Amino acid sequence: MKTNMDKLYDAVAQRGPVCVGLDTDPSYLPADFVRSELTAGENLVRFNRAIFEATKDVAGCFKVQIAYYEALGLDGLRAYAETLKMVREAGLPVIADIKRGDIAKTAEMYAKAHLDGEFEADYVTLAPYMGLDSIRPYMPYVTEKGKGLFVLVRTSNPGAKDFEYEKLADGRHVYDMVGDKLNAMGKECLGESGYSSLGLVIGGTHIEEAAEIRARYQDSFFLIPGYGAQGGTAADIAQYLTKGNGGVVNSSRSVLLAWKKQPGVAFDQAARNECEHMRAAIAAECARLEG
């Protein structure tokens, strides 16, 4: 069975590793775009659709952060479902950024909610710090439906130093232990591309261990946050890719708010310009590393 991670690998090979984060706050919309007769959620969907149509051929995938939609209540959740549906119906990969981390029946219900039904996505993000039993309830969707998971290992925020970088008795960091366990678990679901359906979230803002992490988890596909607004550069990010693939690089605010840095350019064209620039910059750095 061709897995969703295989499809993501193919998408990156075709369109590059840019992941457009549709983490859309109402304040991101240009004032003259907002229609007063529509709800906040309806305006978000209009904005998301315009961004999607402008960038779908220069992005490997899209990511939708649920918190931005939950904050608007039922109106926002309708916008969330409509945004996921829009991307999936176009045949492009979409990640639901939900970062769930519970266990047992609760995790089963989260899996059902976000890998099936009205909120169905191709991949979900998970937090593993309650243990591997917070991941296992999602695995039937991986093995039976080809779904993908991206599990937090070493994140892009400054607070990663609080826990993830703590040293164990054997000299490894906590994030090494988490990554090692997840990588071993992922061996059960390797796809045709050679990558596991159990992917890892590896932040792109801490680069000291980049080469070591990429070498350590050669069959793990990475979701790499931190580019742009969080400070990650193309040179940083390229170290986490393998010949320009093996990962997707998320950018949200830098794409959604690109129009503010490109005076006179329509917001959707500005978003496309930013994606093209990001894709070219990462490709150039990957070529430099390989050369």
Task: Please indicate whether residue 63 is annotated as part of the active site.
Answer: no
> What residues contact residue 103 under an 8 Å CB cut-off, 6+ apart?
130, 131, 133, 134, 137
Nearest 10 degrees: Cα torsion 51, 45, 221, 176: 110
Mark 11-24 as b/e (b = at least 16 C-beta within 10 Å): bbeebbbbbbbbbb
Which of these is catalytic: 99, 112, 145, 181? 99
The count of other CB atoms within 10 Å of the CB of residue 127 is 16
* Positions marked active-site: 99
